[in-house]
Amino acid sequence: MIATSATARRAGDSRKLATLMRHVERSVDSALGADEAAARIRRYVSEHDAPPDDRVAFGRLCTVVFAQGIGYEAVAARAGGFAEAFSGFDPDAVATYDPKRVESLLQAPIVRNAAKINACVENARRWVALAKTHGTYLGRIAGAAAADDPTTGWTALSGVLREDFVHLGESTAGQVLKHIGFFTAFAHPGARRVVERLGFIGADAAAPTLQKLLGGAAQRLGRDPYALEGTLALFAGIGPCKKKPACDACELADRCPSANVSA
C-alpha cells in the first residue's frame, strides 16, 4: 500500500514537471534563441549518450577528469586542443606517453595540470590492459552494468570504475558514468537546483531520486531524458534560475514555492 502511494506520488510529480517544462523551454528559447538553444541541447545529449566505441568512451573519461575545478564549458571551449594533445583520445597511443611527452604537454596552453595529465596517461595504460582482458573496456562496463541496479544510481558500477582508474572519487566516477549513458549515476547541479526550488525534491535527495523524476517527465513528453536535463541546466545557467534567481523575470513565479518576487 505504501509502495503504491509512493509510486502514485512519483507519477504525479513526473506529470507536474512535464507540464512545467514548456515554460522552462520557452524561457530558454527566449534567452538564447530557439536555434542556439536546440543546438546546445543536442550537444548536451551527444556528450552523454552511449559511446559507440572505446576511443569515444576514453575521451569522456579524460574530459571528466580535466573538467574538475575548471568546468565542462572550459574543456568544451578547448576540445580541439585536448583531442590533438591526447592523440584523439586513442588509449593505445596515450598509454605510450613518456615523461618527456607529458612535460611538453605541460608547456602547451591546454591543461597545465601535471596531476590531470599523468592521470590521463595512467588511465590509458589501465584502459588498454583491461580492454585486452575483456575484448573492449566497454565490454567490461556492460558486464558490470548487467549485475547492477540503475535505481540505486549504478553504485556497484561506480565502484568498478574507481578500482580500475586513478583520479576518480565517488562524484567523478558518477560523472563518468553519466557521460557514457548511465543517466541515474549523477545529477546535474543546475537541474537539481531548479527542481529543488520548484519543490519536487529536498536538498538531501539522492541523485537517482532526481534522475528518475526527470526520466519520468521525459517519457511523458516523448523526449530524451538528457535533453530534458540539458534544458533545465540551461534554465539554471543562462535562464532566470541562476544561483541568484531572477524570479521577477520567471514564467514559473506564480507556481514556484521558492519564488522571491518584488511586490
Contacts of 70-78 with CB under 8 Å at 24 or more apart are 72/47, 76/43, 76/47, 78/110, 78/111
C-alpha cell at 194: 531548479
Q: Kindly tell me which of 152 and 258 has the beta carbon lying closer to ligand SF4.
A: 258
C-alpha cell at 111: 591543461
φ, ψ of residue 63 to 5 degrees: the values are -60, -45
Q: Tell me how far, at minimum, the Cβ of 241 lies from ligand SF4, in Å.
A: 3
Q: Tell me how far, at minimum, the Cβ of 258 lies from ligand SF4, in Å.
A: 4
Q: Kindly tell me which of 106 and 253 has the beta carbon lying closer to ligand SF4.
A: 253
Q: Kindly tell me which of 198 and 207 has the beta carbon lying closer to ligand SF4.
A: 198
With a CB cutoff of 8 Å and minimum separation 6, the contacts of 211 are: 153, 183, 184, 185, 187, 225
Give the integer Cα–Cα distance in Å for 127 and 214. Answer: 32
Binding site residues, ligand SF4, CB under 6 A: 194, 197-198, 240-241, 245-247, 250, 252-253, 256, 258-259
Question: Is the Cβ–Cβ distance between 21 and 217 less than 8 Å?
Answer: yes
Q: Tell me how far, at minimum, the Cβ of 239 lies from ligand SF4, in Å.
A: 8
Q: Tell me how far, at minimum, the Cβ of 12 lies from ligand SF4, in Å.
A: 19
Q: Tell me how far, at minimum, the Cβ of 20 lies from ligand SF4, in Å.
A: 9
Q: Tell me how far, at minimum, the Cβ of 248 lies from ligand SF4, in Å.
A: 9
With a CB cutoff of 8 Å and minimum separation 6, the contacts of 60 are: 47, 51, 176, 179, 180
Question: Is the Cβ–Cβ distance between 226 and 178 less than 8 Å?
Answer: no
With a CB cutoff of 8 Å and minimum separation 6, the contacts of 42 are: 227
Q: Kindly tell me which of 144 and 252 has the beta carbon lying closer to ligand SF4.
A: 252
Q: Kindly tell me which of 216 and 245 has the beta carbon lying closer to ligand SF4.
A: 245
> Which one, of 243, 232, 241, lies nearest residue 259 by Cα?
241
Q: Tell me how far, at minimum, the Cβ of 219 lies from ligand SF4, in Å.
A: 22
Give the integer Cα–Cα distance in Å for 180 and 50. Answer: 5
Give the integer Cα–Cα distance in Å for 228 and 236. Answer: 13
Q: Kindly tell me which of 207 and 252 has the beta carbon lying closer to ligand SF4.
A: 252
